[in-house]
Amino acid sequence: MTDQSSNQMWGGRFAAGPDAIMEAINASIGYDQRMAAQDIAGSRAHAAMLAATGVITDNDAEAIREGLLTVLSEIETGTFQFSTALEDIHMNVEARLKEIIGEPAGRLHTGRSRNDQVATDFKLWVRDQLDAAEAGMLALIKALLAQADAGADWVMPGFTHLQVAQPVTWGHHMMAYVEMFGRDLSRVRDARARMNESPLGAAALAGTSFPIDRDMTAEALGFDRPAANSLDAVSDRDFALEFLSTASICAMHLSRFAEELVIWSTAQFRFVTLSDRFSTGSSIMPQKKNPDAAELIRAKVGRIFGANTALMMVMKGLPLAYSKDMQEDKEQVFDAADNWMLALAAMEGMVKDMTANKDSLAAAAGSGFSTATDLADWMVRVLKVPFRDAHHVTGTLVAMAESRGCDLPDLSLEDMQGVHAGITDDIFTVLTVENSVGSRMSYGGTAPAQVRQQVARWTEILGA
């Protein structure tokens, strides 16, 4: 017979009724145990400060320090028993500390609250992830630089609207992504510098009456300074939002590159060959080699974007200071961080291993009338024809070549002079893709000399 005292909408999932439901919705230990190392580091710094300021005795501080090291060892070796009844990592650690050292454990929480404790732990964890992201980006940028240097003078088609536009070099295309990820790198460094203020000691929201030394704990934990307002310190999640925003922009760049790799590796393009390490076969079609790593990077971006939006929604309506809503900040960030780090590593691996197919790139570089702009530029430069007139002449010649099923260099001088009498034999010197890319010597242009200049600049910046 059904127990009418329990809500049948929950069925048998919560056999103990409302108390079990509250425990399930309130507990965060299932995911915030990832912050165990940061929680223990913060507690060790806090205990040392309490002893230095005379709030607790040196003996108690030493017992706390040793006990926390024991707890950390248990967590790292997998012998620690986490309890959902204790809600979160902070209470789980403190309860176990009391089992190990007894009464002194109760003095650890003097002068702080779970509000500033969780803000500190979370900041430390996000800071570690920013450091990991920086390392991942540096590795990816160096892999791109190696590709750019090797193919600084390899011609390929440049596209707008995914239509052949003008010839460029492989190195130039690789350096475009160096610039993108370089901006991502600067955002990571900016975010890290901006978030590096310690919330510890802000307590619940108003600070504390104990004579604590917030500068001491800030320095011990590698922060630049203590956060200057206790209300803001416990309610701030800008650092997590900025992490997700930075991750989202970088993920967008990763996805754009992944999309190009998917296209370039097709039989229709054959611009690149991805290594077997980052490809898979088909279960039914033996000829296929699928760019799965690139496709998964492209897909994982949605999770990172989603995390950014989700945390914005959590924070948008919260009055100061702390609200329990903010417990929903971590799962989003943890998932986004995991997928960001994985995508960076996978992209670096693909770039290091991939082979650019020089012959296929060159064959495609001259297709689609890619040197038409060079023809128009030549008329402006040599014949002093206004660009709009030169554009019209060039368009007429392109239409002529298209109707004959040939490319611009295949038209005869007589054909060209039939459209504009001033055209001379010299025009054929600018219609090769090699001459086209070689002429683009403006700063940041596709000329091989410019590409090598940018590779050298970035190599110096990175100290690579």
The answer to whether residue 253 is catalytic is: no
Give the span between the Cα atoms of 133 and 138, in whole angstroms.
Answer: 9
* DSSP letter (8 states) at residue 319: P
**E-state strands within 150-220:** 155-160, 163-169, 197-198
Q: Which residues, at least 6 apart from 449, have a Cβ–Cβ distance to it below 8 Å? A: 441
CA torsion, points 327, 331, 336, 338, in degrees to nearest 10?
130
Residue tagged active-site, from 161, 283, 412, 442: 161
Q: What CA–CA distances, in Å, run from 239 to 74, 83, 193?
A: 30, 29, 10
Cα-based distances in Å from 445 to 250, 284, 337, 385, 451: 24, 45, 35, 24, 7
- Angle, helices 238-264/114-150, rounded to nearest 10 degrees: 30
Give the tokens for residue 57.
Answer: 């005795």
* C-alpha distances in Å from residue 95, one per residue of 39, 57, 67, 71, 107: 13, 20, 11, 10, 12
109 is catalytic: no
Residue 10 tokens read as: 């929950």
Degrees (nearest 5) of the Cα angle 446, 452, 456? 135
Helix (H) or strand (E) holding 173: helix 170-195
To 5 degrees, how large is the angle CA 193–CA 197–CA 198?
145
Residue showing tokens 């990175």: 462
Residue of 137, 157, 344 whose CA lies nearest to 264:
157
Q: Which residue is catalytic, options 73, 83, 186, 282?
A: 282
Rounded CA separation 198/4 (Å): 50
On whether the CB atoms of residues 118 and 58 are closer than 8 A, the answer is: no
Distances (CA, A) of 37 to 44, 146, 187: 11, 37, 26
Burial of 59 (0-12, 13-18, 19+ CB in 10 A): exposed
Active-site residue list: 161, 282
